[in-house]
Structure 1
């Protein structure tokens, strides 16, 4: 296996991981920002007010996007397995 091929496999792995992680992280960021603005406006600084909505929002996003995430992971894994013969040359 050439160094370029190893770098390409690593690059695709990082891109796939980023693609899978991006939706829940963005939703957590948006919900956290909204809760932070709400806390700044109302001057309520309760720690559970920040965690519980983010956990619920991220859980809902993962619940609804899990089939899509699983499809991407299966596609990447099957591409790697199908390319094993090429990688061993």
Structure 2
């Protein structure tokens, strides 16, 4: 294994993490912006008001996107096992 192989594996691993986590991160971002907007309109600055809806939204997003996340991780695992099998 040379530097190009290590870089390729690292790049593929980072891309897999980014694509697998993107649904949860996107939902957290949109819910956070929505809650911040509501807090700015109502001037209610309660700390716990931001956490509970965000946690519920992220759990729902992970539940609905679990097949996509699993497919991304399974694809990465398959490619890694194939590379190990062929000796990189």
TM-score by length of 1: 0.93
CA RMSD of aligned residues (A): 1.0
Residue 73 (structure 2) aligns with: 73
Please state how far the C-alpha of 1:17 moved relative to its aligned partner: 0.3
Distance in 2 of aligned mates of 1:58 and 1:72: 18
Which consecutive residues of structure 2, in runs of 5 or more, have no partner in the other structure? none
Work out the CA distance in 2 between the residues paired with 1:87 and 1:18: 27
Q: Following TM superposition, by how much is the alpha carbon of 1:82 offset from its aligned partner in structure 2, in angstroms?
A: 1.3
Give 1:16-27 correspondences, 5 Å limit: 16-27=16-27
**How far is 1:13 from its partner?**
0.2
TM score, norm. by length of structure 2: 0.94
Question: Would you say how many aligned residue pairs link Structure 1 and Structure 2?
Answer: 88
* TM-superposed deviation, 1:85: 3.0
Please state if 1:87 is matched with 2:83: no
Q: Deviations over 1:5-48 (max 9, x none)?
A: 11000000000001111110111011000000100110011111
Runs of 4+ off more than 4 Å = none
Q: Trace 1:8-23 onto structure 2 (pairs within 5 A).
A: 8-23=8-23
Per-residue deviation, residues 26-80 of structure 1 (Å, max 9, x unmatched): 1101100000010011001111110001000000000010011011101110110
Secondary structure of the equivalent of 1:51?
A: helix
Unaligned runs of 5+ in 1: none
